[in-house]
Structure 1
Amino acid sequence: MTNPAPETIAPSLALIEQLAHEAISTLPEPFREPATLIRLRIEDFPQDEMLEALDLTDAFELTGMYEGTPLTEKSVMDQPTQPDTIWLFRRPILDEWAERGDVSIGDMVTHVVIHELAHHFGWSDEDIAAIDPWWE
């Protein structure tokens, strides 16, 4: 049996994680370094508890999720109970990527990462657009 061509294989969890790290490495200063402190978790699908908390019933509706306290709400007096985390969900990302058909998987992952970082940094829509000109 021959191995399938690499371009016919769905991107793996490891590739999604690599693309997410690459997206973070290209952030403008002063965001790049603080973004590296956020934990990345890549899973095929969100956990049932995550869907319930967001009042979602379809796991394919959630491509990513920020879990933590946004910087705009943190105090130096706060004791962290867990690291800030960005969750990326491979199967919903792949589903949206395939449906769109007009963006690379790297661009799709970058878009999701930027959206989740916006929750952490408290970015406005204008801030997001300056960093991720998705529509271009």
Structure 2
Amino acid sequence: MIRIPREEFEEAVNDALDSLPDEIARAIAQANVAILIEEEPSPEQSGGTELLGLYEGIPLDQRSVFDGYAQPDRIFVFSGPLQRMAGSREHLVQEIAVTVLHEVGHLFGISDARLHELGWG
């Protein structure tokens, strides 16, 4: 387990987002999605499992102009579980990046199976 200050955790999340290609970053910015860092998932979110991140919303490939107003989609990154699983700061930063990419993948409609194949699982 490794603990880092909240500011450093947020910086690692931002670094992961900054590593995305410009066209992906633009699509995220236009997608009405909030990226949130929470200490722990709620019981409803986790369903009893140890979640590192979570995407809640309608994937871009399933949206319609007929949907009307919708609440912003949300990508959660859970600092508690990520810090508990990490053995070093470098490992934590790597897992944060993988988690961010994994949840962004869900925004784009990529399945868990495919994300695991790509190494973002």
Q: Give TM class, smaller chain.
A: 0.7 to 0.9
Find the residue that maps to 2:20 and give its secondary structure. Answer: coil
For the residues of structure 1 that align with 2:29 and 2:8, how far apart are their CA atoms?
Answer: 17
Question: Where does structure 1 lack aligned partners over 5 or more consecutive residues?
Answer: 1-8
Q: 1:102 Cα deviation (Å)?
A: 9.2
Query: What letter is aligned with 2:48?
Result: T
After TM superposition, give the deviation of residue 32 of structure 1 in Å: 1.6
Counterparts of 2:116 and 2:69, CA distance in 1: 26
SS of aligned partner of 1:46 = coil
**Quick one: which of 30, 41, 48 aligns to 1:57?**
48
Which whole-Å CA distance do the structure 1 matches of 2:45 and 2:115 have between them? 28
Structure 1 counterpart of 2:108, one-letter code: F
Query: Is 2:98 aligned against 1:111?
Result: yes
Q: Deviation per CA, 1:38-72, whole angstroms, max 9, x where unpaired?
A: 31111110112212xxxx324xx101000111001
Structure 2: unaligned runs, 5 residues or longer: none
Counterpart of 2:64, as a letter, is: S
Bigger CA radius of gyration: 1
- Pairwise CA RMSD: 2.7
* Correspondence 1:1-136 to 2 at 5 A: 10-37=3-30, 38-51=33-46, 56-58=47-49, 61-98=50-87, 103-123=90-110, 125=114, 129=118
C-alpha deviation, 1:84, in angstroms: 1.2
Relative CO higher for 1 or 2, CA cutoff 8 Å, sep ≥ 6?
Answer: 2
Do the aligned partners of residues 126 and 49 (structure 1) sit closer, same or farther apart at CA in structure 2, a change above 3 Å counting?
Answer: closer
Partner residue of 1:3? none
Aligned partner of residue 82 in structure 1, secondary structure: coil
State the TM-score, normalizing by the size of structure 1: 0.71
Is contact 2:82-2:95 (8 Å) kept?
yes
Could you tell me the TM-score, scaled by structure 2's length?
0.79
The structure 1 segments of at least 4 consecutive aligned residues displaced by more than 4 Å after TM superposition are none
Counting aligned pairs with the same residue, the percent is 30
SS in 2 for 1:45: coil
